[in-house]
Structure 1
């Protein structure tokens, strides 16, 4: 009887896999699209894709697809992606976006995505096997018109405890909380309707762009100003293998984040002036630190002063970009699905 039950379960799983594959093949919109943007991280990317495949195989009744955007890799990523897509049981669309910048790559991914829920995962992250189940539960039982982010744990204990979020308490963004890091871009989800309302990522922000970071934070602010809630949930977990083991590497990243956040203060000066309040609080904390007060991050010994200086530099740089007419805002442009001829998929 046990063997019969085990065989029946295997047969049922195989049937569910065929049903899910048929749904995608017949043009039905899948429940979720995972969007992974990558550049020269072949080994980490392969592990990321395996984790997504495992999560999808653990719950095949939930239809899903994967869109991988190669943002100019030179390490053999395109060929490896073709091999992975050909061997995978899930639908994988490989998109080439030669223009540099994470925001640009995210926009390309959104254009190719067909799912009702868009899931942004970084290429150096691995998702938990129950991720898809958690995702469906939140969007079935909770509010759908929301940007929702999940827990981010360290992938390796030897990495510095940065770019993670381990809180076990659900929360919603308010004006009293700085939006930077409230929901991390490496684990950010939204309904397609939200993406249509907010629009494209601003390509002046993010890694590989003039402002180096904060394309995700800018997106949160724009959604918040439209009355769309921004929610953190303590599950939907990903493990971040960021590989930064030295304090110097974290300090550089910390400065880049502060540069982008400073630019946001100027961009949203009139629509979200409450961001300036957070800058003022940072200046106050920096002055307090000078007289023996706490640092921004006591564990990593990160100071408030680089935040202040890089915020100011980011504000000045954004003003220069506007005056120079570089990187025109893109959020007013709607998200549209690309024609099949632009895709390389399985």
Structure 2
């Protein structure tokens, strides 16, 4: 059993994937005494990903397992990777990220201290030309509490856990995540479920990765932010009874949206995003989750009514 399994899920990002794998190989070479493996899940790529993976695998000094997962959705891919991984510690890295050279040493140091946690590290921009989004730059270690929103507390592009923790929490919810109906938040859902089971969620300022997300236009960030807000709204309804504190964050957002109308104070100091799209997409996400939940329980007429409500919300006023 290797100490660590790096799990990288990919779809149509052959060039970025090659850089990601090179960075993992570099940290493995820097710590040859630590046993590792790499599990790459191809989630239905139509570019040259498979050829690139064969080339890399033939020359790599790291044991690479290539997994095909044809069902579209990041949660499907994460579950497929988790199922094939053999390591004691599971390390989820996105295909557009590169790990720091000292990553594996930091990982071993933290998991020598304690295993029964979900732990995420720092995420810096890989390219300074990209807008400062989907990063976490804090230099202060922290442990999650319901006083902060779980979205972004630990980013799914740099998330680790002992395999026993993963076995206790279970599979990622395949309704969430990129490529799925709820578009995002499969990682946030995992954190909420962990906290509900009494499993601590920690952020550490090392174990660093560099995120090459490539988004340089504000419209791209706003679109992604709406997707995140949709997923977070679905979480509120899914965990209404197990994590009612999520509603508190929704009400705070509504209050901030009304405050923005009068004072102009916006969300995110760097990007100055509006609170109102968050509120709208939270509602869309909740209704969409209800529609998915009802799919096996409601009559066709009821499903039609819910679908119409979702469509009206998505069109906006």
Q: TM-score, normalised by structure 1?
A: 0.85
- For 1:21, the equivalent position in structure 2 comes to none
Deviates more, 1:288-297 or 1:118-127: 288-297
- For 2:49, the equivalent position in structure 1 comes to 77
2:22 to 32, 46, 50: 50
1:97 to 69, 73, 95: 69
8 Å contact 1:259–1:313 — kept in the other structure?
Answer: yes
1:273 to 244, 256, 259: 244
1:216 to 160, 178, 187: 187
Is 1:116 aligned to 2:88, yes or no? yes
Residue 298 of structure 1 and its aligned partner are, at CA, apart by 3.3
8 Å contact 1:285–1:293 — kept in the other structure?
Answer: no
Whole-angstrom CA distance in 2 between matches of 1:68 and 1:95? 6
Q: Give secondary structure in 2 for the equivalent of 1:162.
A: coil
- For 2:168, the equivalent position in structure 1 comes to 197
- For 1:226, the equivalent position in structure 2 comes to 197
Q: Give secondary structure in 1 for the equivalent of 2:263.
A: coil
Residue 33 of structure 1 and its aligned partner are, at CA, apart by 0.1
Q: Give secondary structure in 2 for the equivalent of 1:175.
A: coil
Q: Give secondary structure in 1 for the equivalent of 2:65.
A: strand
- For 2:310, the equivalent position in structure 1 comes to none
Equivalent residues in 2 for 1:135-214 (5 A)? 135-141=107-113, 143-214=114-185
Following TM superposition, where does structure 1 have runs of at least 4 consecutive aligned residues deviating by more than 6 angstroms? none
Residue 294 of structure 1 and its aligned partner are, at CA, apart by 1.7
Whole-angstrom CA distance in 2 between matches of 1:116 and 1:299? 38
Q: Give secondary structure in 2 for the equivalent of 1:291.
A: helix
- For 1:322, the equivalent position in structure 2 comes to 293
Residue 293 of structure 1 and its aligned partner are, at CA, apart by 4.3
Whole-angstrom CA distance in 1 between matches of 2:115 and 2:296? 36
- For 1:237, the equivalent position in structure 2 comes to 208
8 Å contact 1:119–1:188 — kept in the other structure?
Answer: yes
Q: TM-score, normalised by structure 2?
A: 0.93
Q: CA offsets, 1:22-66, max 9 Å, x none?
A: xxxxxxx00000000000000000000000000000001000000
Whole-angstrom CA distance in 1 between matches of 2:79 and 2:224? 23
Q: Give secondary structure in 1 for the equivalent of 2:98.
A: strand
Is 1:308 aligned to 2:268, yes or no? no
Whole-angstrom CA distance in 1 between matches of 2:296 and 2:12? 30
Residues matched between the structures, number: 297
Whole-angstrom CA distance in 1 between matches of 2:135 and 2:48? 29
- For 2:102, the equivalent position in structure 1 comes to 130
- For 2:11, the equivalent position in structure 1 comes to 39
Whole-angstrom CA distance in 2 between matches of 1:170 and 1:114? 29
Residue 325 of structure 1 and its aligned partner are, at CA, apart by 3.1
Whole-angstrom CA distance in 2 between matches of 1:245 and 1:133? 33
Whole-angstrom CA distance in 1 between matches of 2:212 and 2:20? 10
1:247 to 213, 218, 231: 218
User: RMSD in angstroms over aligned alpha carbons?
Assistant: 0.8
2:262 to 288, 291, 311: 291
